[in-house]
Amino acid sequence: MLDKMILGRYVPVDSTIHKMDPRSKLLLVFLFVCIIFLANNLISYGLIGLFTLILLMLSKIPIRFLYNGLKPILFLIIFTFVLHILFTKEGEVVFNFGWLEIYDGGLRQGLFISLRFTFLILVTSLLTLTTNPISITDGMETLLHPFKKWKLPVHELSLMMSIALRFIPTLMEETDKIMKAQMARGVDFSSGPLKERIKAIVPLLVPLFVSAFKRAEELAIAMEARGYRGGEGRTKYRQLKWQTVDTLLMLSLVVLTILLVLLRS
Amino acid sequence: MGKKLVSLENIAFKYEGQSRHAVDHVSFDIYEGEWLAIVGHNGSGKSTLAKLLNGLQFPQAGTILVNGKELTEETVWEARSKIGMVFQNPDNQFVGATVQDDVAFGLENAGIPLPEMVQRVQNALNKVKMESFLNQEPHHLSGGQKQRVAIAGVLALQPDLIILDEATSMLDPRGREEVLETVRELKEENLLTVISITHDLEEAAKADRMIVMNEGKLYRQGIPTDIFQMEGELIELGLDIPFSVKLSKELKERGIGLIKSHLTEEELVRELCELHSKM
Amino acid sequence: MRITLQDVEYRYQINTPFEHLALHDVNMDIVSGSYTAIIGHTGSGKSTLLQHLNALLKPTKGSITIGDRTIESGRKEKHLRAIRRSVGIVFQFPEHQLFEETVEKDICFGPMNFGVSEKDAKDRARKALEQVGMDEEILEKSPFDLSGGQMRRVAIAGVLAMEPDVLVLDEPTAGLDPRGRMEIMDMFYQLHKERGISTILVTHSMEDAARYADEIIIMHQGTVFKKGTPFDIFSQPEQLLELGLDVPDTVRFQLKLQKELGVRFDRPCLSIEDLATEVKKAMERGNR
């Protein structure tokens, strides 16, 4: 199940989207989330759909992979759709079956909301699918840089995030190891009454916390030994490059916004 | 022997809430270009020594001189730029998301400009033979490889001295050999001074000089040949003696006229060859 | 208790793009009361193999018989506790599994999971602590206040208190100093001798394998490369060296001497004393 989830996964392929600057991708997603609310008719939704499709094609992420990944969310989309059909009572009745009345307003609403939802999911997953987590962190750090004026600890936040990301696989491995060790001592994590199972978490969590704290302490010492003393006076090894593609894509987004505004009915 | 790089004068250190000194009035010098092995059982104070040398802890008594300058809160960053450290756990010192980011971490801290940084990262990785792993993430590397990256991170900062704080104790034999070979080559190439804190006696036997720590005190210092003459004494301290020393002793007991206990197998084989041809 | 593996195969994350074959065609028979050493490189499948020995992992093909239970691939297995009780595993760096407030509670944790009463478990805790060479005084201490070496011993005591019939040891001395290493290894050997506990030791140390084991199994690229007595295995040291594995110091020295001195040894020496005697004999032979 988890193997098929696409949310938050990075798929390393060589594509235009992959090569883009994480800053432009972050901006794109942010603006996209805003302008999608401008659409309120079929043509504008069609336009957004086309835009999303072009992005997907450019990313070279296998469609099958996307589809598999969306499956778990499909239920949610259908659920919203049905909910709107049943409870929105606007416009004319298009269908009547006993107590059940379906209005064309409900159909429209349901369709639009599920489309909006699908596009949002696709575009946001596209960000994580095509950008490795560390670049996202870098992009965030640069984009948030102006907020330093208001005492936002941008550098610290991004360092924290990148270290957290770096340690996820290590901690996963550790969890597995400790789980196995406790199972060998007779703990049953997967069956028995709920109360027992909750109790079984303690022998897993305590060692995990202990080890995470120990790691944090050792990491802090190692960082200090390597001359780390905060963001002041540091240079940056990773440089972000804004390319023509980035400008083009931002422009296309502007055009899309203008069109959406014009098309509003 | 080269010039004095670091001197410890009557250093004492006690952890908070402990009655016993972790380091109990210890003095010694470290000379440029040497490989110094500090050995001792777990809890003998050898790792605390490493932390003191790098200003990660400050002694309650005594002074540490780095290049003739006293190590204090004010000079600690300067000292750290001259003394690099590689720690025991390969995972808990890997800061960067990828190999190159990790090597660059120290350089970023030092505020090295980008073009030079790129150059130094590349050079350092070439030296530890990890250049083909630039974009590899740490969880895809073996323990030995991670330690080599850690060494590259130290090298990139061009220190005078590298401290290996039990850097090989969590590795398998292959990883251990890999790391030691790397350090040995580096030491020969650019006159890097090495302090290796270890309880691997085979490794210590290859050092230029040894210090034996026991219960926070400096028990003995000298060249390995002399230190391993203590044989039984070392075992009592919870240590061991190298295989060839043990074998030399057994051979002598059986009446084979060896002139001394050999530290390396090569030497022992050579003397046995000579004896054999004389027979 | 006897453990038999038949054509065991194990794949991680089966049926995903990340599928990875870790073990294949593994056959072995570990008889009751034996001392077996498993050696091989990191990544040779040793760790995966040892998790099969008490059904922490179930084979994706083949079967494993542990005592009178058979675990077959593709079958849902229930009630594995009996197996887990009789096969104790000391994992690498076992001190990482400590979690209770006191040493006593932590040691009692395993036995009590297997239905031992609190009183009996406490008795066992005292006994186990003595076996690992520690004082009863620390029973009331928090395990996190102990030194690294003491924590290791407490964790081992926690497994011993389960009173297993088979003890699986995964590099139990990693990171310890020479004295600690020797004390722990001797302690396990004594248990094996006195109580007839079958012992399976996964190790990188050829010295330990040669000194303690009745049988050595060499794992290479996910399968059994060779098995035999230490004597058999180290009679052909070249094979091991080709795989990039070590041989005991004594055997390596014999090889060097054979090459440089041209003397011949008719058997591998597995202890320093034996080697010294043989070297003397060889030197005298050369004299005549």
* pLDDT tens string B38-85: 999 888 889 899 999 999 999 999 999 998 899 999 999 999 989 999
| CA dihedral sign of residues C118, C123, C129, C135 | positive
C-chain CB neighbours of B251 within 8 Å are: 276, 279-280
The DSSP bridge partners found for residue B214 are B217
pLDDT exceeds cutoff 90 at C62: yes
How confident is the model at residue C16, as a pLDDT? 67
- Residues C143-181 as b/e (b if ≥16 CB within 10 A, e otherwise) read beebeebbbbbbbbbbbbbbbbbbbbbbbbbbbbbbbbb
Q: Record the tokens describing residue A79, joined without a space.
A: 């659920």
Q: Are strands B217-222 and B209-214 parallel, antiparallel or unpaired?
A: antiparallel
User: Tell me: the pLDDT tens digits for C86-99?
Assistant: 999 999 999 999 99
Residue C281, min C-alpha distance to chain B (Å) = 10
The per-residue pLDDT for C288 is 46
Q: Where in chain B is the domain with CATH 3.40.50.300?
A: 4-241
Mean pLDDT of chain A: 86
Q: Which long-range contacts (CB under 8 A, 24 or more apart) does B173-179 make?
A: B173/C204, B173/C246, B174/B144, B174/C41, B174/C42, B174/C244, B175/B142, B175/B143, B175/B144, B175/B145, B175/B147, B175/C42, B176/B144, B176/B200, B178/B144, B178/B145, B178/B148, B179/B144, B179/B147, B179/B148, B179/B151
Question: Closest approach of chain A CAs to the CA of B189, in angstroms?
Answer: 23
Q: How far is CA C155 from CA C84, C90, C159, C160, in A?
A: 16, 8, 7, 9
**Is B105's CB within 8 Å of A166's CB?**
no
- Contact check, Cβ <8 Å, A218/B54: no
Of the candidates A22, A162, C275, the one whose C-alpha atom is nearest the C-alpha of residue B97 is A162
B4-241: what CATH class?
alpha beta
pLDDT band at A84 (very low <50, low <70, confident <90, very high): confident
Check residue A74 and give its pLDDT.
85
Residue of A nearest to B117 (CA): A237
Closest CA to A252 of A89, A93, A16, A80: A16
Candidate ranges A141-155, A251-265, B147-161; pick with highest mean pLDDT:
B147-161
Q: Span C188-209, mean pLDDT?
A: 94
- With 50 as the cut, is the pLDDT of residue A203 above it? yes
- Residue ranges of chain A whose CB lies within 8 Å of a chain C CB: 3, 174, 177-178, 180-188, 202-203, 206-207, 210-211
Enumerate the residues of chain A whose CB falls inside 8 A of the CB of residue C85.
186
Say if C86 is an interface residue toward chain A (CB within 8 Å): no
Residue A95 has pLDDT above 80, yes or no: no
Annotated domain spans of chain C: 1-78+167-177+191-245, 94-164, 248-288
How confident is the model over C142-149, as a mean pLDDT?
A: 92
Amino acid C284: pLDDT:
81
Q: Evaluate if residue A2 carries a pLDDT over 50.
A: no
Mark yes or no for CB contact A207/C96 under 8 Å: yes
Q: Would the pLDDT of C209 be above 80?
A: yes
Task: Look up B233 and say whether it is catalytic.
Answer: no
Cα–Cα distance, B75 to B83 (Å, whole number):
12
Residues in chain C: 288
Percent of chain A at pLDDT exceeding 70 = 97
How many Å is the Cα radius of gyration of chain B? 20
What ipTM does the predicted assembly reach? Answer: 0.91
Interface of B with A (CB under 8 A): 51, 54, 56, 77, 80-81, 84-85, 87, 89, 91-98, 100-101, 104-114, 117-118, 121, 137-139, 153-154, 157
Q: What is the pLDDT of residues A20-50, one digit of tens each?
A: 999 999 999 999 999 998 888 889 999 999 9
Q: Could you say which of B70, B108, B166, B236 is catalytic?
A: B166
Token pair 């759909």 is found at A49
Tokens in use for B244? 């060839």
Confidence of residue A1 (pLDDT cuts 50, 70, 90): very low
Assess contact for A141 and A154: CB atoms under 8 A: yes
Distance CA C37, CA C212 (A): 8
In angstroms, the separation between the Cα of residue A233 and the nearest Cα of chain B is 6
pLDDT at A230: 82
The larger pLDDT score, comparing residue C285 to residue A29, is at: A29
Find, in chain B, the residue whose alpha carbon is nearest to that of C205: B173
pLDDT, greater one: A83 or C29: C29
Give the pLDDT of residue A252. 92
Confidence (pLDDT) at C43 = 86
pLDDT at A254 (0 to 100): 93
3-state class (DSSP) for residue B12? strand
Share of chain C above pLDDT 90, in %: 77
Distance of alpha carbon B227 from alpha carbon B212, whole angstroms: 8
pLDDT band at B1 (very low <50, low <70, confident <90, very high): low
Q: Identify all chain B residues contacting C147, using CB atoms and an 8 Å cutoff.
A: 42-43
Of C149, C176, C244, the CB nearest to B174: C244
| pLDDT on residue A65 | 76
Strand partners, B26: B11
How does strand B35-39 pair with strand B209-214?
parallel
Pairing mode, strands C215-220 and C35-39: parallel
Lowest mean pLDDT among A70-84, B148-162, C111-125, C199-213: A70-84
Looking at domain C1-78+167-177+191-245, its CATH architecture is: 3-Layer(aba) Sandwich (3.40)
pLDDT(A3) > 60: no
For the ranges A108-122, A127-141, B103-117, the one whose mean pLDDT is highest:
B103-117
Q: What is the mean pLDDT of chain B?
A: 91
Task: Inform me whether the pLDDT recorded for C287 exceeds 70.
Answer: no
Cβ distance B238 to C280 less than 8 Å, yes or no, reads no
Q: Which residues from C are below 8 Å from A185, CB to CB?
A: 84, 97, 109-110, 113, 158-159, 162
Q: pLDDT tens across C253-265, in order?
A: 999 988 888 888 8
